[in-house]
């Protein structure tokens, strides 16, 4: 139950989550096997090491047909078509999903990786060519163990370091892509949770202030706490990559963590909505994909109905009717706005509930262990689903701005 509900969880949980998990199942007696001292790099010229590659029949070519459910109960079918001739590229790094037994995952493509790319990135294929490398990530197995065995502060010095294998893999994949596939094209970086953390490191080390920054169209860093100076758009984690404030702005970043408005402020133990390393004058970036300029805006959500968090696959979106398409869209149901709530800066999700409507007046997506909602995680599992339509529109507008700038 615990692992199922954490299909898209971040590698770096909270003690409350560890306690809840421990109540659900016995703690593993042995830590997961660490990576060997010397790890050979992957060969990213081998397309088997890519989860998605343009023109290939893979997860990014999946059926994304959606049922649109309106507030009055009327429905329509919305088809989807990728654009193989899109003028820009997207480079996607997936979140913590691997159930492999060791501390780092293998390079075998499992259903977990396939399912999450369908939920979080495949729809962007209408606006960009999609590249998604496999990488040897920090696993859910390791995450579970270390959350069930919190290290006392006095022993922190002897705690095993977080392996850098995953970051090194993504860096190698990025460099292969730049050398052999990019050809001067603009690129959007897309990540969630652990994927956003890896991309943040990649931008810091390989892009920020370097010539390749000219090709960065934007970075969509979902489910993370990117540090910026209070009230500022640039500084903090990145020296020269600002936050996005319009869909024609290039070289910027969209970062956020989403919470139900009704649960704010987040519990003190939440790791989302404030920088991981506390520093005076710093806050977590919050950019609202539903209104880049600021203020509230309608969330154009696409929720998975077949391969998503368990509650979503059983959720009754419409009274007396079953949704049999892979996705459902619910226009007008959700409004989003960045808010400061206590020490947190988060994207608050307001549900425009109408009990008289035949359409659902709620959404799935909470992290649930047993019957307990873990409020410190907010809506982390569906950070991407909440704004998939908005993000597709933004990437499309950025592609037009990129082409106009090149002309």
Give the tens place of pLDDT for each residue, 29-60: 677 887 777 889 999 999 999 999 999 999 99
Pick from 178-182, 289-293, 304-308, 350-354: least confident? 304-308
Q: What pLDDT is stored for residue 8 in this prediction?
A: 32
- What percent of the chain has pLDDT above 70? 87
**How do residues 117-156 score in pLDDT, each as one tens digit?**
999 999 999 999 999 999 999 998 888 777 777 665 554 4
Token pair of 368, please? Answer: 């649930």
Tell me the CA distances in angstroms from 406 to 91, 139, 184, 351, 399, one per residue in order.
Answer: 20, 41, 11, 41, 11
Pick from 138-152, 220-234, 353-367: least confident? 138-152
Q: What pLDDT is stored for residue 312 in this prediction?
A: 64
191 SS3 class: strand
CA angle in degrees (0–180, nearest 5) for 406-123-251: 35
Cβ-defined contacts of 167-171 (< 8 Å, 24+): 167/198, 167/201, 167/202, 168/39, 168/41, 169/41, 169/42, 169/133, 169/134, 169/135, 169/136, 170/93, 170/133, 170/135, 170/198, 170/199, 170/202, 171/202, 171/205, 171/206
Q: What pLDDT is stored for residue 142 in this prediction?
A: 84
62 SS3 class: coil
Pick from 80-89, 150-159, 216-225: least confident? 150-159
**How do residues 88-117 score in pLDDT, each as one tens digit?**
999 999 999 998 998 999 999 999 999 999
Q: What pLDDT is stored for residue 161 in this prediction?
A: 56
- Mode of pairing for the β-strands spanning 128-133 and 66-69: unpaired
Work out the pLDDT band at 327, boundaries 50, 70, 90.
very high
Residue 396 has pLDDT above 80, yes or no: yes
CA angle in degrees (0–180, nearest 5) for 107-96-391: 105
| Average pLDDT across the chain, whole number | 88
Question: Taking residues 359-367, what's their average pLDDT?
Answer: 93
Residue 68 has pLDDT above 70, yes or no: yes
Residue 23 has pLDDT above 80, yes or no: no
Is 46 within 8 Å of 103 (Cβ atoms)? no
> If you search the block for the tokens 């005076």, which residue do you land on?
280
What is the rounded distance in angstroms from the CA atom of residue 42 to the CA atom of residue 186?
A: 25
Please tell me what DSSP assigns to residue 32. P
The two most distant CA atoms of the chain are separated, in Å, by: 62
**How do residues 236-246 score in pLDDT, each as one tens digit?**
999 999 999 99
Work out the pLDDT band at 14, boundaries 50, 70, 90.
very low
Is 25 within 8 Å of 147 (Cβ atoms)? no
**How do residues 261-317 score in pLDDT, each as one tens digit?**
999 999 999 989 999 877 789 999 999 999 999 999 999 999 999 876 656 667 899
Q: 324 CB contacts (<8 Å, ≥6 apart)?
A: 67, 305
Count CB-CB contacts under 10 A for residue 384. 26
Question: Taking residues 381-400, what's their average pLDDT?
Answer: 97
Is 282 within 8 Å of 329 (Cβ atoms)? no
Question: Taking residues 388-395, what's their average pLDDT?
Answer: 98
How far is C-alpha 123 from the chain's CA centre? Answer: 14
Residue 250 has pLDDT above 90, yes or no: yes
Work out the pLDDT band at 214, boundaries 50, 70, 90.
very high
Q: Would residue 253 be called left, alpha or beta, if left means φ above 0 and alpha means ψ between -120 and 50 degrees?
A: beta
Question: Taking residues 314-339, what's their average pLDDT?
Answer: 94
Which of 67-81, 271-285, 366-380: highest mean pLDDT?
67-81
Tell me the CA distances in angstroms from 362 to 77, 109, 230, 357, 365, one per residue in order.
Answer: 21, 33, 33, 12, 10
DSSP calls for 215-276: GEEEEEEES---EEETT-SSBTTBSS-PBP-STT--SEEEEE-EEEGGGPSPPTT--SSS-S
Please tell me what DSSP assigns to residue 179. I
């Amino acid at each position: 139950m615990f692992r199922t509900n954490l299909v898209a969880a971040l590698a770096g949980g909270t003690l409350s989550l560890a306690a809840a998990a421990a109540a659900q199942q016995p703690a593993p007696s042995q830590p997961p096997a660490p990576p060997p001292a010397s790890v050979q790099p992957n060969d990213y010229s081998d397309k088997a090491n890519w989860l998605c590659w343009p023109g290939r029949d893979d997860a990014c070519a999946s059926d994304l047909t959606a049922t649109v459910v309106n507030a009055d109960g009327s429905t329509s079918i919305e088809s989807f078509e990728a654009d193989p001739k899109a003028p820009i590229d997207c480079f996607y790094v997936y979140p913590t999903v691997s159930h492999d037994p060791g501390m780092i995952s293998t390079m075998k493509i499992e259903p977990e990786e396939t399912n999450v790319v369908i939920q979080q990135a495949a729809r962007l294929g209408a606006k960009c060519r999609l590249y998604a490398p496999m990488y040897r990530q920090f696993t859910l197995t390791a995450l579970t163990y270390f959350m069930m065995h919190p290290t006392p502060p006095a022993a922190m010095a002897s705690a095993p370091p977080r392996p850098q294998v995953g970051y090194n893999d993504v860096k190698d994949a990025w460099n292969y892509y730049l050398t052999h596939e990019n050809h001067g094209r603009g690129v959007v970086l897309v990540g969630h949770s652990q994927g956003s953390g890896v991309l943040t490191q990649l931008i810091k080390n390989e892009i920020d202030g370097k010539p390749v920054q000219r090709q960065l169209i934007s970075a969509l860093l979902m489910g993370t706490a990117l540090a910026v100076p209070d009230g500022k758009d640039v500084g903090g984690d990145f020296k020269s990559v600002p936050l996005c404030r319009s869909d024609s702005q290039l070289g910027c970043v969209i970062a956020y963590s989403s919470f139900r408005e009704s649960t704010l402020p987040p519990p003190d133990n939440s790791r989302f909505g404030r920088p991981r390393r506390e520093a005076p004058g710093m806050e977590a970036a919050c950019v609202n994909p539903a209104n880049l300029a600021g203020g509230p805006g309608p969330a154009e959500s696409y929720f998975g109905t077949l391969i998503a968090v368990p509650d979503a696959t059983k959720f009754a979106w419409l009274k007396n009717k079953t949704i049999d398409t892979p996705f459902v869209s619910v226009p007008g149901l959700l409004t989003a706005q960045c808010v400061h709530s206590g020490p947190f800066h988060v994207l608050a999700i307001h549900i425009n509930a109408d009990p008289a409507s035949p359409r659902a007046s709620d959404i799935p997506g909470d992290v649930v262990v047993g019957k307990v909602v873990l409020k410190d995680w907010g809506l982390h599992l569906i950070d991407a689903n909440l704004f998939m339509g908005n993000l597709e529109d933004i990437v499309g507008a950025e592609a037009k701005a990129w082409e106009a700038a090149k002309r």
